[in-house]
Amino acid sequence: MTVQTGQPPALLETISYPDSDGKPMADNTLQYRWIEKLKGNIELRYVDDPNVFVAGDLLWYPVQGHPEIRTAPDVLVAIGRPKGDRGSYRQWAEAGIAPQIVFEVLSPGNRHGEMMDKVLFYDRYGVEEYYIYNPDRFEFDVLIRQNDRLTSVSIQNEWISPRMGIRFVAHERAELEVFYPDGRPFLTMTELGLLAEQRQRAIEAEQQRANAAEERAAKLAAKLQALGIEPDL
């Protein structure tokens, strides 16, 4: 989405776009854990694709020359943009590509008016999939761009992201479940770390068994050679 600014080029070059809005990333540990979980697993989902950018709590400026027009989604996904560090997402510097997918994880401090403003922002500036999760109330809402407008969709208890292939399973009295396209569940960063550690231990144990087997075979071969028998290896 390209937006005309009406500002002369010389003035545009002098405008400052802060990398922080001074607001905390999360209001509590539950909200932070979900933001981290979504961002981390989506990054893993696209770990082999150099042209998918995923960020958490990053300021998004959609209009050059207007630093007051901005928001910081809890998680944003920009398909078609290269990985790499950024201080903010300045859309005009990103080939005009708006993040196609955004997530907001709610906390008790979120106000209705604030969330309505976000819906209007994401609707106006081109978001295709907007996900809202309230981990305190187990409420999960999905808005999808249809006929060039973000529209709330009824998901019953399950939804698959059109862009990402990720599956969401919502429950009335339990946490949201999220799955990779191949069916593996999203895990917290701690769980992913423990799983990686277990896999590493299993690899090391298997290597130790292989080394021990080779050592036993070498000793047996040496004994046979000492007896004048050439081992058939």
Q: What per-residue confidence (pLDDT) applies to 218? A: 80
Cα 93 to Cα 14, 21, 44, 78, 109: the distances in Å are 15, 20, 25, 13, 33
Q: What gap in Å lies between CA 106 and CA 69, rounded to an integer?
A: 22
- Per-residue pLDDT averaged across 146-154, rounded? 95
- Domain regions of the chain by residue span: 17-186, 187-233
Q: What per-residue confidence (pLDDT) applies to 98? A: 98
Lowest mean pLDDT among 38-52, 113-127, 137-151, 206-220: 206-220
Give the predicted TM-score (pTM) of the model.
Answer: 0.80
Cα 141 to Cα 3, 5, 42, 160: the distances in Å are 29, 33, 18, 13
Is 113 buried (19+), middle (13-18) or exposed (0-12) by CB count in 10 A?
exposed
* Averaged confidence pLDDT in the chain: 89
- Per-residue pLDDT averaged across 117-146, rounded? 96
Query: Does residue 97 surpass a pLDDT of 70?
Result: yes
Q: What per-residue confidence (pLDDT) applies to 212? A: 75
- Per-residue pLDDT averaged across 86-108, rounded? 96
Lowest mean pLDDT among 59-63, 97-101, 110-114, 192-196: 192-196
Query: Does residue 62 surpass a pLDDT of 70?
Result: yes
The more confident residue out of 216 and 37 is: 37
| CATH number of 17-186, picked from 3.30.365.10, 3.40.50.1970, 3.90.1570.20, 3.40.50.300 | 3.90.1570.20
Q: What per-residue confidence (pLDDT) applies to 36? A: 95
Residue 133's pLDDT band (boundaries 50, 70, 90)? very high
